[in-house]
Amino acid sequence: MNRAKLEEALLPPVVALLVAVIVGDVLIISFGQSPAAVYRQLLEGTWGNAYGLGQVLYKATTLTFTGLSVAYALRAGLFNIGAESQLAAGGFAAAFVGLALPAGIPALIVLPVYVLAAGLAGGIVGGIPGALKAKFGAHEVITTIMLNFIVLALLNYLISARFKVHDTLHTAEIRSGALPRLADFSGPFHGSAANLVLLLALVLAAVVWWFLFRTRPGFELRAVGLQPEAAEYGGVSVGGVWWRAMAVSGAIAGIGGLNYVLGYKHYYEEGFGAGAGFLGIAVALVGRNHPVGVVIAAILFGTLSQGGLAVNALVPKQMVDVLQAVVIIAMATAVPEVRRALLSVRGAGRGARGAKPPQDARVPLPASRVPRVPQ
């Protein structure tokens, strides 16, 4: 990665965080508190002790899955707004399988079964909009949003009508395959929900990186994302890439459901996603659709989510929800703006030195060649 690319990748998140800090100051002062005290509390409550850190890692794990899911689809030029319901479908499938499995099988043996079930459920929910896009040209943004409502309503029906434990809104606990928490290895983490699904998230991030940047289908997927017509001309089946990308994207989000089912509560409950699917869009955006960036961004948003609870005694924890939204808005606005600003600065620099611009001078691309999705 050369310097120009690095600047373009890192400037927008820095700008976005600065804007968020300013908005945060305004909110904190409006509540009559000192920003310094609140931010210190936020850091101490998250990274200052093992319990807080464990909670951050737990939240970051789910966000890594949903962020990877959104980023993967975006690399193919598709917006997956459905991670919320794909995550829930994956979690439900895992809980369902967990009820059917006999008790006492070692986790390592049943883990693949869980991954398969959650991935399949999420993949179906993601694959439907993909197929509708490939076959009928139905816009995936609208179909994934609508499917969110449909799938969540269906799952709520299944829970309330069939699978709930009496007087609760959740299923019975799975009988085997629960994974150890970090607290089982290291005492200070006691009480926090971080668990070994964390490793699964990191492995998956590595696999996604390898697939996207080191394999031929990954290259084809990115080619479709940059310029579908050109990819088609180059012999790629664009429709095929679209629906497979959405199915895989859904599967990644679905596997994220294991974090809750295998590592934390061991059951599925109503309101499963709790917004992690939508935050996945933010994670992918801030992580610039790169698996490494996604992991870092997931930790950032995990810190913010947990930080809200840490500062709740001083200011309402909803402040953090506002800040997360501000980060997304500022980031989305800064990405095209920073790109334009950098282009004009570099252009001016060359002009000042009186050098003739090279043939491939970085002039703004014509509108038709600008990828619709910020990379």
Q: How far apart are the first and last CA of the chain?
A: 14
Q: Is 337 in the site for another protein (CB under 8 A)?
A: yes
Q: Is 15 in the site for another protein (CB under 8 A)?
A: no
DSSP code of 290? -
Q: Is 309 in the site for another protein (CB under 8 A)?
A: no
Q: Which of 21, 116, 141, 226 binds another protein (CB under 8 A)?
A: 141
Q: Is 39 in the site for another protein (CB under 8 A)?
A: no
Q: Is 41 in the site for another protein (CB under 8 A)?
A: no
Q: Which of 79, 114, 267, 268 binds another protein (CB under 8 A)?
A: 79
Q: Which of 147, 198, 221, 241 binds another protein (CB under 8 A)?
A: 147
Piece in contact with another protein (CB under 8 A), picked from 55-63, 170-178, 289-297, 331-339: 331-339
Can you tell me which residue has the tokens 């294991």?
258
Can you tell me which residue has the tokens 């005492």?
187
Q: Is 34 in the site for another protein (CB under 8 A)?
A: no
Piece in contact with another protein (CB under 8 A), picked from 87-95, 117-125, 247-255, 320-328: 320-328
Cα–Cα nearest to 233, from 242, 241, 224, 225 = 224
Crossing angle (nearest 10°) for helices 50-75 and 83-100: 110
Q: Which of 285, 294, 297, 299 binds another protein (CB under 8 A)?
A: 285
Q: Which amino acid is at 260?
A: Y
* Comparison of 136 and 233: residue with beta carbon closer to another protein: 136
* Comparison of 178 and 335: residue with beta carbon closer to another protein: 335
> Residue 32 class from Cβ within 10 Å (0-12 exposed, 13-18 middle, 19+ buried)?
exposed
* Comparison of 20 and 255: residue with beta carbon closer to another protein: 20
Residue 47 dihedral angles phi and psi, to the nearest 5°: -100, -5
Cα–Cα nearest to 299, from 177, 198, 227 = 198
Q: How far is the CB of 319 from another protein (least distance, A)?
A: 6
* Comparison of 156 and 176: residue with beta carbon closer to another protein: 156
CA gap 282, 317 in Å, rounded? 19
Q: How many angstroms separate the most distant Cα atoms in the chain?
A: 78
Pattern 160-199, binding to another protein, x per CB under 8 A? xx--------------------------------------
Q: DSSP string spanning 116-168?
A: HHHHHHHHHHHHHHHHHHHHH---HHHHHHHHHHHHHHHHHHHIIIIIPPTTS
> Residue 251 class from Cβ within 10 Å (0-12 exposed, 13-18 middle, 19+ buried)?
buried
Q: Which amino acid is at 203?
A: V
Q: Is 276 in the site for another protein (CB under 8 A)?
A: no
Cα–Cα nearest to 201, from 172, 223, 179, 218 = 179
Q: How far is the CB of 187 from another protein (least distance, A)?
A: 34
CA gap 22, 27 in Å, rounded? 9
* Comparison of 161 and 352: residue with beta carbon closer to another protein: 161
Pattern 340-369, binding to another protein, x per CB under 8 A? ---------------------------x--
Q: Is 124 in the site for another protein (CB under 8 A)?
A: no
Q: How far is the CB of 27 from another protein (least distance, A)?
A: 6
For residue 181, the cross-strand partners are 195
Asked if residue 108 lies in contact with residue 140, where contact means CB atoms within 8 angstroms, the answer is no
Q: How many residues bind another protein (CB under 8 A)?
A: 51
Residues that bind another protein (CB under 8 A): 27, 30-31, 79, 81, 132, 135-136, 138-139, 141-143, 145-147, 149-150, 153-154, 156-157, 160-161, 275, 278, 281-282, 285, 316, 318-326, 328-329, 332-333, 335-337, 367, 370, 372-374
